[in-house]
Amino acid sequence: MLGDLTDRDRAILALEAAWPRHGGAKEERIRSELGMSPARYYQLLGRLIDTEQALEHDPLLVRRLRRIRDTRAARRTTRMRGFVG
């Protein structure tokens, strides 16, 4: 089906879900397991967590990642406003 997650999408979500349980450098695991740069990984992850397919696949993970992203964005906005005004 057109809207399904790709194998790469599922692999990205699986690595992100498993990461707190594993030691070592995350960047190394991204390169070795997914064959991409960490910058590309985070770019794809950011897009992926905005999809309904990802939310259906792992709702707890996707909601947690969205909360983290939104909190960081709000902090950046607050800091920027502090510098302006």
52 located within any domain: yes
* 2 inside domain: no
* Number of domains comprising the chain: 1
pLDDT band at 31 (very low <50, low <70, confident <90, very high): very high
Provide, rounded to the nearest whole percent, the portion of the chain with pLDDT above 70.
87
48 closest CA partner among 1, 82, 7, 81: 7
* Residue 64 within any structural domain of the chain: yes
Query: What pLDDT does 53 receive?
Result: 97
Structural domain includes residue 77? yes
* Domain limits for position 11: 7-84
